[in-house]
């Protein structure tokens, strides 16, 4: 896996984790921020042909 793909997948893992944390805490502002970040990262992955499994977690990167 190249560095770009590895970094992108890691950033997606972090954004998903932070989004989950924000939702669990009921923090709507943080939820909006991380939801937007995740959307941007997933769009970047799609535009660059990077496959991102739906169940991607920190252990799989």
Q: pLDDT digit string (tens) for 12-53?
A: 999 999 999 999 999 999 999 999 999 999 999 999 999 998
Question: Using 50, 70 and 90 to split pLDDT, how confident is the model at 1?
Answer: confident
Residue 38 is predicted with a pLDDT of 96
pTM for the complete prediction?
0.84
Name the percent of the chain in helix, strand, coil, to the closest 5.
Answer: 75, 0, 25
The contacts found for 21-24 with CB under 8 angstroms, 24 or more apart, are: none
In angstroms, the CA 53 to CA 32 distance is: 22
- Say if residue 58's pLDDT is above 90: no
């Amino acid at each position: 896996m190249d560095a770009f793909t590895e970094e992108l997948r890691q950033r997606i893992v972090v954004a998903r984790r932070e989004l989950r944390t924000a939702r669990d805490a009921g923090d709507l502002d943080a939820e909006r921020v991380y939801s937007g970040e995740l959307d941007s990262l997933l769009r970047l992955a799609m535009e660059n042909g990077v496959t991102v499994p739906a169940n991607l977690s920190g252990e799989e990167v």
